[in-house]
Chain A
Amino acid sequence: MARFLAICSQPEMNESKFKEALGGFKKWRPDRWTFVTKAYACADGKIVAECEAREKAHFEQWLMGTGWKVEGIHDVTHIHEAGQIWKM
């Protein structure tokens, strides 16, 4: 499993659209090995989505289904969270 971070944009993002993209079980966990673990919608229309997946292609496929404009998908090597640092 690997961790990926996608920077996307959706200029008219709102709560309804965000829920539409992520609200159902199959939306955030499209298959047994692909988990969209976290997503942030920003006021300027940017979206940052984190995904745990076996291959980047699985995340790319999920992103295509959202309709968001994908600006880049990055392999995560380290994570900091509230004082904890994790190496991927």
Chain B
Amino acid sequence: MALPLAELLKLDPDKMPAHSERPTPDEFRHKKQVYYEDVQIGQEIPKYIQRFNTVHLFNWCAAIENPHRIHYDHPYAINYDKLPGVLFHGTWRMAIIPSWLKDWTFPGGWFWKADWQVRAMVVANEITIVWGKVTNKYAKDGLGFVDLEIGIKNQDGIEGCPGNATVVLPLKGGKPIPYPFVPPN
């Protein structure tokens, strides 16, 4: 049973990652499609909860060839740039959201569009809670559109990535989502 976001934020931060709803690789292999009819307005979608440490941040630096020391060199980050710790990358937050929405709509849905802001510093060893809530849904041209409020909160409930997204889900017994997806007029 998924823990609602409001309840999750009451927990000791060390206990939060255990409530992550990220599917395991095996669950991905056998993932059942979420259909438009399965979704209700106000519903929370699965939250990804993780604690990223300096090694994770360093790996992302290496992956995107970003050598800026504020992301992995703790003494430099706190002593030179006067930061509260090594910083979680804005680019990584930008990468997490599409991946997470792709996961939720997988295998037959489509993450169509999203906008969000990157704000509030997140540092290594904080908790990141990727969360989303259904704000609207409508069917058009035989496809199910679902609007979401999304974000990435930390363990204190501070929002670091407020935004909105729209995903497309198949209707039960309906046509498949076309690939590549072309939004209806």
Contact = CB atoms under 8 A, between A and B. Distances in A.
Contacts of A25: 12-14, 125, 127, 155
Interface residues of A, number: 16
A32 B75 contact: no
B75 A1 contact: no
Contacts of B80: 86
Interface in A30-88: 31-33, 35, 37, 52, 79, 81, 84, 86, 88
B78 A52 contact: yes
A84 to B, nearest CB: 7
B156 A32 contact: yes
Of residues A1, A25, A79, which shows the largest number of chain B Cβ atoms within 10 Å of its Cβ? A25
B184 to A, nearest CB: 44
A26 B12 contact: yes
Nearest to A37: B78
A86 B79 contact: yes
A75 B98 CA distance: 44
B82 interface: yes
Interface in B61-89: 74-76, 78-80, 82, 84-85
Interface residues of B, number: 18
B55 interface: no
Interface in B150-179: 155-156, 158
Contacts of A88: 79
A21 to B, nearest CB: 15
Return the 10 tightest CB-CB contacts between A and B, nearest first. Answer: A86-B79, A25-B13, A81-B75, A25-B14, A24-B14, A79-B79, A35-B84, A32-B156, A1-B82, A52-B78
28 contacts: A1-B82, A1-B84, A24-B13, A24-B14, A25-B13, A25-B14, A25-B125, A25-B127, A26-B13, A26-B14, A31-B156, A32-B84, A32-B156, A32-B158, A33-B84, A35-B78, A35-B84, A35-B85, A37-B74, A37-B78, A52-B84, A79-B79, A81-B75, A84-B75, A84-B79, A86-B79, A86-B80, A88-B79
Interface of A: 1, 24-26, 29, 31-33, 35, 37, 52, 79, 81, 84, 86, 88
Given A24-B12, A33-B84, 20 more contacts: A1-B82, A24-B13, A24-B14, A25-B12, A25-B13, A25-B127, A29-B125, A29-B126, A31-B156, A32-B156, A32-B158, A37-B78, A52-B84, A79-B75, A79-B79, A81-B75, A81-B79, A84-B76, A86-B80, A88-B79
